[in-house]
């Protein structure tokens, strides 16, 4: 919509970031069947602009689950409604933690990858998690 675009007719990055977070939150809550909060957003690269009037399509999947946290991957596509042509414009990984009524982390069901694609995403998510934890521990040691 016009209020979501800049003077070049491109959708604001912040609008896309908001959509990413909301769609990923729905996937996290559906998996955990508990309230979930965003704890991190990995790097977001804007590969190409989304034009005013494009249909924005977001696809989310829970790639990996720890004890109370999970990684949700989101793919963003833009569709030209006149031609039906779709473009991959963004991908992002967000980490959520499931919480109990007292806002404390709570254990959630594991994700069990079955297809080759799910197994690939699971392994890649494990590696990203390892790097995030390594980076966090390095920052704490300071």
**Cβ–Cβ contacts within 10 Å for residue 47, how many?**
10
Stated pTM of the model:
0.89
Number of domains in the chain: 1
87-112 tens-digit pLDDT? 999 999 999 999 999 999 999 999 99
Please state, in angstroms and rounded to a whole number, the distance separating the CA atoms of residues 43 and 127: 15
Domain that holds residue 20: 2-141
Low-confidence spans in the chain with pLDDT less than 50: none
Give the CATH number of the domain where residue 91 resides. 3.10.129.10
| Per-residue model confidence (pLDDT) at position 34 | 97
């Amino acid at each position: 919509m016009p209020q979501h675009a800049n003077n070049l007719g491109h959708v604001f990055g912040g609008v896309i970031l908001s959509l990413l977070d909301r769609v990923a939150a729905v996937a996290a809550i559906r998996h955990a069947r508990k309230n979930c909060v965003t704890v991190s957003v990995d790097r977001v690269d804007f590969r190409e602009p989304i034009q005013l009037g494009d249909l924005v399509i977001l696809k989310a999947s829970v790639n990996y689950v720890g004890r109370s946290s999970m990684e949700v991957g989101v793919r963003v596509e833009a569709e030209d409604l006149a031609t039906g042509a779709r473009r991959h414009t963004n991908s992002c990984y967000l980490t959520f933690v499931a919480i109990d009524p007292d806002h404390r982390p709570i254990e959630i069901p594991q994700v069990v990858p079955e297809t080759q694609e799910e197994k690939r995403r699971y392994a890649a998510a494990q590696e990203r998690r390892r790097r995030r934890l390594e980076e966090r521990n390095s920052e704490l040691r300071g």
